[in-house]
Amino acid sequence: MAQCSPPRRHRALIVEDELMIALDLEDAMSALGFDICGLASTADTARSIAIDHHPDVVLMDVNLDGGHEGIEVGRWLRGMRCACRICHRIL
């Protein structure tokens, strides 16, 4: 009888420059069944992780380092034809 492999868990990238918030989001997403493919605190790190790991979902802080770099990273991901869903968060 053929063995079926378990379904692949969705990968999430968390882009947040405040460590405690990033760790909270990591715990919450893991509890929902996501594999966390990376935590990024800068736009450059987010781009690098996205290229290497092809996340299915990106939780993106809009205000990285006090600017709107999160929006720019989201635009960059769309320009790269990334098939991931992007959830921008503002707090």
Give the pLDDT confidence of 64-84 residue by residue, as tens digits.
Answer: 876 778 888 888 888 887 778
pTM: 0.86
The confidence band for 2, taking pLDDT boundaries of 50, 70 and 90, is: low
Contact 46, 84 (CB under 8 A): no
Positive or negative, the CA dihedral 39, 60, 89, 82 is: negative
pLDDT tens for residues 19-63?
A: 999 999 999 999 999 999 999 999 999 999 999 999 999 999 988
